[in-house]
Every structure is written in C-alpha cells, then in structure tokens.
C-alpha cells in the first residue's frame, strides 16, 4: 500500500487541508505553515503505540473569537495499490470484503478517524476503513489494528539521526503490542547505538574500530533476518537491509548479496546513523508484511554536509514510501521537482502547491534544474522571485533594497537570473508552486520579447518593469551615475569625449567586472548628495516587498 492523499479537518492549527503524496514527497513551507501538524496527524492514526493514541482538548482547532472547538477532528488517509492487482496476495485477504475485484486500475482503501470534542476530557475517537468504489466499510477493531500494523509510520524527528532526537524505548525490549524481542537482537541494537553515540559524542578512543563494530552488528541483524526468528524482528531487519543495500539471495536463503559496498567511513557512518534512527523509532520491530511509511524530518540537523550526503544516498535505497521535510536547499535540489509540495497556511486552511506533470517540457525541466535549482538551491523556499536578465541586476537590486530599509532575505525575495535558463521555466514553476514573481527587463528587443512572453502569466501590471534603456548600466548612466563608468574605464578625458556612453560602459566592464561596477554604483548612490535611487527601481522594489508580504493571502 502507499499513501496517495490525506485530508485533515479541525486538527491543531489546521482547519482544513487536502494533500497528495508520491512514493517520495518533500514538504516545505515556513515555520508556522502546519507541516508538524500534518506529520503528527499521520503518526497519531498510524502509530504503533495504542496508549499514545489520545486526543486531548488542545488538539482541536478552535475558533479565534469563542475559543471553542470548531468541530470534530477528521483525518482521512487514502491508500492505493502501486499497481493494479497488488492487493491480491494472502496478506490482504482480511480486507477482501472491503475491496472491489482486481481490475485494470489500482484499487483504493480509505482509513478514517473522526474525533468528537468532550470538554476537558480526551476526545472520543471512531475509526473505520471503507472503499470508495463499492461503498463497503468496517469499524472492526481487529481489522483496523491489522491495517495499522501493515502500514506503520517510521518517524525520524529532527536531530534523531545525530542522536539528539527522542528515543522510544520499551522495557525489556517489548514492542507496544507486548511481543518479545530476542536478547541477541537487543544486544546487536545496543552495539549499533553505542557505535553511533560514541562517534557523535567524540568519546571514542578508536573511532574506526567502533564504527566497524556497529557496522558488523548491522550485518548480523540482516543475517538474523534470513534464519528463524520472531516475526517482529524479521520486519525490522528487512528495513535495515534496505538501508544498508543488502538483499537476501533468492537461491540460498542464508546468503546475502551486497548491492553497494560503502568505501569510506563517511558512508558507513551515514548507514549507522540511519539504522540507529530506525531502531530508536521502532525499538520492537515490525510485522513481516509491514509496508512502512518513512517520515524523515530535517535530516540536516546537526549533521556535517558530507555525512548528510551519505545519509541522503542511503535513504534513496529504501524501497518504501518516504516523506521528507527540510530547510536545506542542497538537499531539496536533489529531490525531483514533481515530488515537491509547497505548503502555505492562511486563515487555518493549509494549501498545497506542486508542479503538475507535463507542465514543463523535458528541455525546460533540464534547464530549470541546471541553471536554477543546482546553482541557487534555496529559491524554492522564497516568497517572491525577482526575475532579472543578468548579473548586474543580481548584485545591485538587493543592495538597493537595503538602502531603502528592506532586506530581501528577510522578506523572502530572491533575485533569479533567467537568461541562461529562459523565462518560461521559472514563470511556470512560480505559478505552479504559488511563488509570487516580478519581471525586470531591459528596453532592448530581447527585453520587450520577455515582457510579451510574460503576458500569459500576468494578473496585474505591477508584475513587470521595463527599463527604457538598452541595459541597466545605461539606465544608471542616464540617471546621474555616468562618473562611475568613466572612472572605471580608466580612459583619458580626451578619449571619453570622443566615445559614446555605450562604448565607455563596455570599456569599464573590460577593465573591471559587472559585479565590481554594481558595487561601485551602490557606493555612489549611498554617498551624500547623490541623485539617489532611480524612482523606477524604487517603485519596483516597493512593489516586490508588497507582493512578498501578501504572498499567503494571494495564494489563498
């Protein structure tokens, strides 16, 4: 099974939301957008600890005026077959009455929780499974319990990879359902945890030896998975084998085949961090037929970039559905654009924006990734893209905003050079992800063509600014800053009199560079008695700041 969609009503900060998921999904958004509430809802209804499945009064979304719950909590998870007929195996027989006959399209099974407020006491929860196609439903606790065991959540909170997150420890190795875990397995898990903790704390006397010991313990766990063992242990070792890159040999049950041999301590540490987090999150293992949903929150927390790269590589080996949250642009740039979900909350409603299939051509997708996502990995977090043609604007405009009292970074504004990528890819992505944008174009033929091309995306004139000059250097020349270019050109007064402004600017660029000239312009503008910021650019920056600040409302 895999989670296709999630609907939430009246849960914590979320009044209403509807989210979609792929086999791999990255959730991004600002700190108060509600991502944590989404993950808490998933863990609450799918968590393996029945005792923690409680709904205290503070979980209910409340009316701001009355302070009372707006209504019952509703959480609906829509699971689907990955391919038609996937649920025809013996492990799905208990759900046969809820499923239509296998056909050409994947079947769905909906898992729903409805919780009514009960004053100062915990809310009363009702759970049910139902099929949307044949109108069948069941509230049988045993069937729902089996469904949860088949679809557990492995949640790795921020910091757990580095040993800073909370561990879920059960006395004597007991799992939440009261099933024993063998002493040998507990000892092996302790060796892995010890290797991780000593490596991260710096207390190890022999780092390489400790790392090797933890690594060998992980392999022993996998070997245990191919011989007789408890059913809950088998589920855990299968997940560990996916992390480490081993698969059981089909011909000889006691042998395993290494898909990829880690050739550095960084890679082995990455493996152990991930396995250690798995053991902390699921200390008692999983059912052998479990199809876990991995939730990995901010894996970059407390990790060096090299180690993070190693962890990310081995996360990609896990052949399970994964949900990732991150504030790392580098990590996000490695996620396929189609798997990105940008979440914005306004007035209690959580909005999802994604890049739909076939919106970008293959060429546009390649250019967008190469020229923007890989070079400026943090742009997906921005509220507004200020689209500019060249590097002069890229350097000048943030500094001009600073002189006006605005900081682009604080406002969520990113200058995006689009000349190499083309204008269409960033415009399409901005529209799909709900990112506000403004286009600054030169007054030459190319700039006018950009303005015309952006016409299909315009909802108001305040999104475009056209300079009435060939380029921004000539624009500043005509607004009182010709001296900056004359001095930078190092030409004699006699030659300056004979050359056109365009030739002088070219000479200045050859003698210095466009970034140098941009900084020189900023210094000149900041000087007392200067002509100041040209009104056209001042108005544009004000418009961008306003658009960025209104971004959540505009998305709604």
Tokens of 59: 């979980």
The phi, psi pair for 156, rounded to 5°, reads -110, 95
| Span 115-135, average pLDDT | 88
DSSP secondary structure of 155-178: EE-TTGGGT-S-----GGG--TTS
User: For residues 242 and 258, what is the distance between their CA atoms, to the nearest angstrom?
Assistant: 11
Closest CA to 238 of 284, 290, 188: 290
Residue 85 and residue 93 in contact, taking contact as beta carbons nearer than 8 Å? no
DSSP secondary structure of 68-135: SB-S-EEEEEEEE-SSTTGGGSGGGGGGGGGSPPP-SS--EEEEEEEEEEETTEEEEEEEEEE-TTT-
| Maximum Cα interatomic distance, the chain, rounded to a whole number of Å | 94
Tokens of 494: 């006699």
User: For residues 432 and 356, what is the distance between their CA atoms, to the nearest angstrom?
Assistant: 7
User: For residues 541 and 263, what is the distance between their CA atoms, to the nearest angstrom?
Assistant: 50
Residue 514 and residue 388 in contact, taking contact as beta carbons nearer than 8 Å? no
In three-state secondary structure terms, 120 is coil
In this predicted model, what pLDDT tens digit does every residue of 235-245 receive, in sequence order? 566 666 666 55
| Span 115-143, average pLDDT | 89
Closest CA to 169 of 152, 151, 153, 181: 181
DSSP letter at 105?
S
Q: Which residues pair with 121 in a beta bridge?
A: 118
User: For residues 537 and 476, what is the distance between their CA atoms, to the nearest angstrom?
Assistant: 10
Q: What is the pLDDT of residue 183?
A: 73
Pick the range with the lowest mean pLDDT from 247-256, 326-335, 512-521: 247-256
Residue 231 and residue 253 in contact, taking contact as beta carbons nearer than 8 Å? no
In this predicted model, what pLDDT tens digit does every residue of 142-157 receive, in sequence order? 999 999 989 988 888 8
Q: What is the pLDDT of residue 268?
A: 66
In this predicted model, what pLDDT tens digit does every residue of 157-181 receive, in sequence order? 887 666 555 544 433 334 434 444 5
Band of the pLDDT at 118, cuts 50, 70, 90?
confident
- Compute the C-alpha angle 291/338/277, nearest 5°: 40
Q: Any idea how long the chain is? A: 556
Residue 25 and residue 324 in contact, taking contact as beta carbons nearer than 8 Å? yes
User: For residues 229 and 226, what is the distance between their CA atoms, to the nearest angstrom?
Assistant: 8
Classify the C-alpha dihedral 372-376-381-387 as positive or negative. negative
**Domain 1-152+292-354 = CATH 3.40.50.300:** yes
Tokens of 143: 């069937």
User: For residues 107 and 348, what is the distance between their CA atoms, to the nearest angstrom?
Assistant: 32
- Would you kindly state where each structural domain of the chain is located, as residue ranges? 1-152+292-354, 168-288, 358-556
Q: What is the pLDDT of residue 202?
A: 58
| Span 277-305, average pLDDT | 78
Residue 41 and residue 73 in contact, taking contact as beta carbons nearer than 8 Å? no
Mean pLDDT of the chain, nearest integer = 84
Q: Which residue has the tokens 């660029």?
A: 509
In this predicted model, what pLDDT tens digit does every residue of 252-276 receive, in sequence order? 333 343 444 555 566 666 767 777 7
Residues 6+ apart with CB under 8 A from 31: none
Q: What is the pLDDT of residue 308?
A: 82
- Using a pLDDT cut of 70, give the percent of the chain over it: 79
Band of the pLDDT at 197, cuts 50, 70, 90?
low
Closest CA to 471 of 531, 392, 524, 539: 392
Tokens of 167: 């561990």
In this predicted model, what pLDDT tens digit does every residue of 95-106 receive, in sequence order? 999 998 888 899
User: For residues 430 and 458, what is the distance between their CA atoms, to the nearest angstrom?
Assistant: 12
Above 70 in pLDDT, residue 121? yes
Strands ordered across the beta sheet of 121-130: 137-138, 121-130, 108-118, 73-80, 2-11, 14-20, 349-353, 340-346, 24-28, 321-325, 293-297, 153-156
Rounded to 10 deg, the angle between the 482-489 and 514-526 helix axes is: 130
In this predicted model, what pLDDT tens digit does every residue of 74-100 receive, in sequence order? 999 999 999 999 999 898 999 999 998
């Amino acid at each position: 099974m895999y989670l296709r969609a999630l609907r939430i009503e009246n849960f914590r900060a979320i009044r209403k939301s509807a989210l979609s998921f792929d086999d791999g999904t990255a959730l991004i958004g600002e700190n108060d957008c509600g991502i944590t509430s989404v993950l808490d809802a998933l863990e609450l209804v799918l968590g393996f600890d029945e005792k923690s499945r409680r709904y205290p009064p503070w979980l209910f979304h409340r009316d701001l005026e009355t302070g009372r719950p707006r209504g019952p909590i509703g959480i609906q998870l829509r699971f689907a077959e990955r391919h038609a007929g996937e649920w025809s195996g013996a492990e799905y027989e208990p759900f046969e009455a809820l499923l239509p006959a296998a056909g050409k399209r994947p079947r769905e099974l909906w898992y729903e929780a409805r919780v009514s407020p009960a004053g100062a006491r915990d809310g009363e929860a009702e759970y049910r499974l139902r099929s949307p196609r044949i109108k069948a439903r069941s509230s049988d606790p045993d069937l729902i319990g089996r469904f949860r065991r088949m679809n557990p959540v492995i949640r790795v909170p921020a910091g757990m990879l580095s040993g800073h997150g909370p561990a879920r420890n059960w006395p004597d190795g007991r799992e939440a359902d009261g099933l024993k875990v063998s002493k040998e397995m507990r000892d092996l898990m302790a060796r892995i945890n010890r290797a991780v903790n000593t490596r991260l704390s710096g207390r190890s006397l022999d780092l390489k030896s400790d790392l090797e010991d933890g690594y060998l313990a992980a392999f022993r766990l996998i070997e245990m998975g191919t011989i007789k063992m408890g059913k809950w242990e088998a589920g855990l070792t299968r997940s560990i084998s996916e992390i480490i890159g081993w698969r059981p040999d089909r011909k000889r049950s006691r042998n395993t085949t290494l898909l990829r041999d880690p050739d550095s301590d960084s890679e082995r540490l990455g493996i152990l961090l991930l396995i250690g987090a798995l053991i902390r999150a699921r200390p008692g293992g999983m059912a052998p037929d479990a199809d876990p949903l991995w939730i990995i929150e901010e894996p970059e927390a407390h990790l060096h970039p090299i180690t993070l790269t190693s962890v990310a590589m081995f996360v990609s080996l896990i052949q399970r559905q994964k949900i990732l949250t991150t504030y790392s642009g580098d990590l996000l740039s490695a996620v396929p654009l189609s798997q990105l979900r940008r979440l914005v909350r306004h007035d209690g409603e959580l909005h999802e924006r994604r890049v739909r299939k076939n919106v970008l051509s293959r060429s546009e997708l390649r250019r967008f990734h190469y020229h923007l996502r890989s070079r400026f990995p943090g742009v997906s977090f921005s509220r507004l893209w200020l689209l500019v043609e060249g590097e002069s604007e890229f350097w000048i405009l943030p500094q001009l905003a600073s002189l006006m009292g605005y900081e682009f970074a604080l406002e969520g504004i990113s200058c995006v050079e689009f000349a190499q990528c083309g204008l269409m890819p960033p415009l399409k992505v901005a529209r799909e992800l709900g990112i506000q944008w403004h286009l600054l174009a030169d007054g030459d033929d190319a700039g006018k063509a950009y303005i015309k091309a952006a016409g299909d995306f315009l909802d108001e004139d305040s999104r475009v600014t056209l300079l009435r000059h060939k380029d921004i250097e000539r624009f500043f020349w005509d607004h009182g800053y010709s001296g900056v270019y004359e001095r930078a050109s190092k030409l004699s007064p006699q030659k300056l009199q004979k050359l056109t402004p365009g030739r002088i600017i070219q000479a200045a660029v050859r003698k210095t560079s466009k970034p140098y000239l941009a900084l020189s312009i900023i210094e000149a503008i900041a000087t007392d008695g200067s002509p100041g910021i040209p009104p056209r650019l001042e108005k544009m920056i004000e418009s961008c700041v306003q658009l960025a600040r209104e971004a959540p409302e505009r998305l709604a």
